[in-house]
Structure 1
Amino acid sequence: MTNMKKSILLGACVGLLGLSSFASATTTLHVATWLPPTSAQNAVVWPTWKKWVENATQGRVKVVIENYTGAPKTIFDAVEDGVYDVGFTVNTYLPGRFKLTSVAEIPGEITSAEAGSVALWRTYDKYFKPAKEFQGLELLALFVHGPGQLQTAFPVNSLDDLKGKKMRVGGGLVNELAARLEVTPISAPAPKSYELMQQGVVDGTFLPAEQQMTLRLSEVSTDLTLFPKGLYTTAFSIVMNEDTFADLSKKDREAIMSVSGEKLSKLAGTAWGEADKEGIQAAVKDGVNVVHLSKDDPRVTDLNKVVEGMDQMWIDSVADRKIDAKAALDYFRENMNALSQ
């Protein structure tokens, strides 16, 4: 074989090897997560989405879930800056940036985390997207936890029992609720609740029932008071770095979104809602006084009076967003009603 033929053959082999390597190249998405392994997000949502993404992209995109040790509110920056590719956190941990999704925080609107999560995503898609609150990030999903309840180190026989008590709050409309209930609000992320209650810094916390298990609040609570529609709800976002998303092939972007959006929102809402049952079971097992209030209970009727006008407060709070807030709220409620039947 002549030297020229050898060179051509060698070049062809190298080219084929290069093509083979290119074809088998994968993208790895590093996901930041911050709750305990027992949380619905880490036990159900992330593993399921990982499987969905890897199957939808036929293995071209891999997902690696990593523990985030920073403050939960910094995840938005960590993803936006490319430190992580994907993450989730509470929208109200960044006051003023994500006003619109607080429509899901209005007391008395949500009885089901699954329905609330789907309704929130649909409302964002139809009304909120033009406001570009998530500019700099690629929004993958929105979801809510189950109805927020009272987890306390004292019995709540009437709403007057709350007056003057120190209660952990996470921000958003729950802060207004706290003011109306005349409690002393202590702002802190949810994972701090155990430490704050154990040390007596707070007398209780506003959180969904699942945190009796996930954050082990059954160890530091004496009472879990469950309102039929809760006291409030919290909105979460699942976001991706926009450059990471843009660098993916069109085929893989479409594949990822086919298992995100409403589908991922529903998955997260369902998982978090189901976890409430486990939280109540943990509370009963550990001897917490679990009180299920009926809709006619004076504490419930009094709460209904306390929260009057908070829907209009949300409308007023987003006046600078140039969207039809009243129509968005009506649409959110329509979806909630339809999905809750």
Structure 2
Amino acid sequence: MFDSKLLKLALVAGALAASTSVIRAETIDATIVAGHPPVFRWVKHASQTFIPTVNKALEGSGHEIKWDEQYGGSLSKVGDELEATEEGLAQIGVISSVFDPAKLSLQNVSYYTPFVSSDVALVSNTINDLHFSNPNMRVTWEENGLEYLGAPSAIDDYLLMTTFPVNSIDDLKGKKIGAPGPAVNWLGGTGAVGVAGNLTTYYNEIKTGVYDGVIVFATAALPGKLHEVAPYITKVGFGAQYAGSLAANKEWFDEQPEEVQKALRAGGEAFRDAYIADLDAASEAALKTLAEQGATITEVDDEFRQKWVAGMDNVAKTWAAQVDGEGKAGTEILKAYMDAIRAAGGKPARDWDQE
């Protein structure tokens, strides 16, 4: 005869087991890496915006991530985050595409089109949108074993900071100027000697005389205290730039449940919005503080700017042709980027794609 008590006990046991499985979330280990320290905005928001957003999105999903945050060169130095993530030393990287112009060639389109727009949101959103409208942009990440997560980190209008006053382009002749990656090309035609560098070394290189100045942006110059060694700030109008994004090890990402993948993308969207809002508020404040702390800030007139722009080789066309030769869509992305900027109301000082 059927025992109803046994059936009830079995049902209760099953319910308890089911509830226990829901309560006991699967824990996923994930290391996030950045060569720069958290004093820089793109690292700060990885920690303060991206991670909390992912955690919030996973609440009640049965999954949680145990984060290991490795910043400031503890696991990877600046420029090596891509390799660290690709090789699985980290699951997510704060990737500075500006320091990987060969591997992330298409992502560097803005750095080969200076003097286009100082609107940070416009540049950032244009590059981010291109990633989703043009599959060629995502292919460059995937070729390096990475999954693009969004979270574009744009850079406010680049400045020239020097140990000497700049009253004319002739003042730059023979001077050694540090610049990030492809931004060295912006010095073409000025007579300056461009030297590839990055924020972690600028202060000491200027102080010891290795550089006579650097191309940098206000929101990094202030925390880096660069005005202490290069007190002359010249606003040339180089423009805002896209400098990188968060990306995940693709093999790891593909293994994750759909809820985790969606949470990571949600974190990327939150990063984008918080980062831009933060940057907009900080850039003018940084310039004001730099002036208050003794920096001399000048802005060139249109004649100076146009002379600088006209004196440059068309680095964008050269870059696009080189990338085309590598089997990637350099010319296509250059045109798409410039078209999008103009369509949004941007007024480039030079139409690099139309010459």
Q: TM-score range by the shorter chain?
A: 0.7 to 0.9
Give the Cα–Cα distance (whole angstroms) in 1 for the partners of residues 246 and 139 of structure 2: 15
CA separation of 1:307/1:336 partners in 2, compared to 1, >3 Å: closer, same or farther? farther
TM-score, normalised to structure 2's length?
0.81
SS of aligned partner of 2:140? coil
- 2:317 aligned residue (305, 312, 316): 312
Partner of 2:208: 199
TM superposition shift of 1:31: 1.5
Distance change (3 Å), C-alpha of 1:274 and 1:318: farther
- Worse overlay, 125-134 or 107-116: 125-134
**Aligned residue identity for 1:49:** F
Question: Which residue does 1:151 correspond to in 2?
Answer: 161
Distance 1:44 1:325 in 2: 28
Cα separation, 2, equivalents of 1:281 and 1:130: 37
Return 158-167 or 210-219, whichever deviates more: 210-219
The answer as to whether partners of 1:143 and 1:236 remain within 8 angstroms in 2 is: yes
Deviation at 1:119, TM superposition (A): 0.6
Rounded Cα–Cα distance in structure 2 between residues aligned with 1:115 and 1:130: 18
User: 1:241 is matched with which residue: 238, 243, 249?
Assistant: 249
**Partner deviation per Cα, 1:193-239 (whole Å, 9 max, x = no partner):** 01101111100111111122121112111201113x32573521311
Task: Report matched runs for 1:288-327 at 5 Å.
Answer: 288-294=295-301, 296=302, 298-307=303-312, 309-319=314-324, 320-322=327-329, 324-327=332-335
Deviation at 1:55, TM superposition (A): 1.1
Question: 1:120 is matched with which residue: 118, 122, 127?
Answer: 127
Residues 145 and 269 in structure 1, CA contact (< 8 A), matched pair in contact too: no
Query: CA shift at 1:163, angstroms?
Result: 1.3
2:116 corresponds in structure 1 to 109
Structure 1 residue 128 displacement after superposition: 4.7
Aligned twin of 2:337: 329
Q: Distance in 1 between the 2:164 and 2:31 partners?
A: 42
Q: How does 1:68-107 map to 2 (within 5 A)?
A: 68-69=72-73, 70-105=76-111, 106-107=113-114
TM-score by length of 1: 0.84
Cα drift, residue 338 of structure 1: 7.2
**CA apart distance, 1:264:** 3.5
- Kindly state the Cα deviation for residue 18 of structure 1 after the two structures are TM-superposed: 9.9
Deviations along 1:115-139, one digit per CA (max 9) or x if unpaired, are 2111111122222536611120011
Q: Measured at CA, do residues 322 and 35 of structure 1 come closer, stay the same or move farther in structure 2, by a change above 3 Å?
A: closer
Supply the distance in 1 between the matched residues of 2:109 and 2:121 (Cα, whole angstroms).
15
Distance 1:112 1:46, change over 3 A: farther
Per-residue displacement from partner, 1:93-129 (whole Å, max 9, x unpaired)?
Answer: 2241111122212111221222211111112222253
Percent identity between the two aligned chains: 18
Q: How far apart, CA to CA, are the structure 1 residues paired with 2:344 and 2:225?
A: 30
Deviations 1:271-313 (A, max 9, x none): 344432233133112201011334x3x3222123134633333
Deviates more, 1:279-288 or 1:39-48: 39-48
- C-alpha contact 1:138 1:241 (8 A) present in aligned 2: yes
CA contact (8 A) 2:124 2:241 kept: no
Question: What secondary structure, in the 3-state scheme, does the structure 2 residue paired with 1:177 have?
Answer: helix
In structure 2, stretches of 5+ residues that fail to align are 1-5, 348-355
What secondary structure is seen at the aligned counterpart in 2 of 1:121? helix
* Partner-residue secondary structure (3-state), 2:248: strand
Q: Tell me which of 253, 258, 283 is aligned to 2:261.
A: 253
Q: CA RMSD in A?
A: 3.0
User: Are 2:172 and 1:162 aligned?
Assistant: yes
Aligned pairs for 1:168-187 (under 5 A) are 168-172=178-182, 174-187=183-196
Unmatched 5+ residue regions in structure 1? none
- Contact 1:104 1:110 (C-alpha < 8 Å) held by counterparts: no
Partner of 1:140 in structure 2? 149
Secondary structure class of the residue paired with 2:265: helix
Q: Is the 8 A contact 1:118 1:143 kept in 2?
A: no
Amino acid at match of 1:157: N
User: Per the alignment, in what secondary structure is the counterpart of residue 241 of structure 2?
Assistant: coil
Q: In structure 2, what is the Cα distance between the partners aligned to 1:211 and 1:303?
A: 24
Instruction: Report the CA distance shift for 1:98/1:327 in structure 2 as closer, same or farther (over 3 A).
Output: same
SS at match of 2:48: helix
Q: Which of the numbers 62, 67, 72 marks the counterpart of 2:71? A: 67
Q: 2:34 corresponds to which letter in structure 1?
A: T
Question: 1:192 and 1:273, CA in 2 relative to 1: closer, same or farther beyond 3 A?
Answer: farther
Query: Which residue of structure 1 aligns with residue 350 of structure 2?
Result: none
Q: Which residue identity is paired with 1:112?
A: D
What residue number does 1:210 align with?
A: 219
